[in-house]
Amino acid sequence: MKRRSKKYRTLREKVTPGKAYPIEEALKLLCELKAAKFDEAVDVAMRLGVDARKSEQMVRGTTLLPHGLGKAVRVLVFAKGEKEKEAQAAGADFVGAEDMIKKIQEGWLEFDQAIATPDMMGQVSKLGKVLGPRGLMPNPKVGTVTFDVAKAVTEAKAGKVEFRTEKAGIVHCPIGKLSFGFEKLKDNLTTLAEQVNRSKPDSAKGTYIRSMVISSTMGPGIKIDPLSLKELAPP
Give the β-pairing of 94-96 and 75-78: parallel
User: Considering the domain boundaries, does residue 186 fall inside one?
Assistant: yes
Give 146-176 as a DSSP string. Answer: -S-HHHHHHHHHHTEEEEEB-TTSEEEEEEE
pLDDT at 141 (0 to 100): 87
38 and 107 inside one domain: no
In whole angstroms, what is the distance from residue 40 CA to residue 174 CA?
11
What's the angle, vertex CA 62, arms to CA 173 and CA 157, rounded to 5? 85
- Domain end point (choices 106, 125, 158): 158
pLDDT tens column, 17-45: 889 999 999 999 999 888 778 899 999 99
Give the β-pairing of 60-64 and 222-224: unpaired
Domain limits for position 85: 75-158
What's the angle, vertex CA 192, arms to CA 190 and CA 194, rounded to 5? 65
Work out the burial of residue 9: count CB atoms within 10 Å of its CB; fewer than 13 is exposed, 13-18 middle, 19 or more buried. Answer: exposed
Cβ atoms of residues 173 and 44 within 8 Å: yes
User: Considering the domain boundaries, does residue 3 fall inside one?
Assistant: no
pLDDT at 101 (0 to 100): 96
34 and 148 inside one domain: no
User: Considering the domain boundaries, does residue 12 fall inside one?
Assistant: no
User: Considering the domain boundaries, does residue 8 fall inside one?
Assistant: no
In whole angstroms, what is the distance from residue 178 CA to residue 41 CA?
6
pLDDT at 235 (0 to 100): 41
Count of structural domains within the chain: 2
User: Considering the domain boundaries, does residue 94 fall inside one?
Assistant: yes
User: Considering the domain boundaries, does residue 11 fall inside one?
Assistant: no
CA-only gyration radius of the chain, Å = 19
pLDDT at 1 (0 to 100): 46
Work out the burial of residue 233: count CB atoms within 10 Å of its CB; fewer than 13 is exposed, 13-18 middle, 19 or more buried. Answer: exposed
114 and 54 inside one domain: no
Element (H, E) at 85: helix 81-90
pLDDT < 50 regions, the chain: 1, 233-235
CATH (domain of 79): 3.40.50.790
Q: How many CB atoms lie within 10 A of CB 88?
A: 17
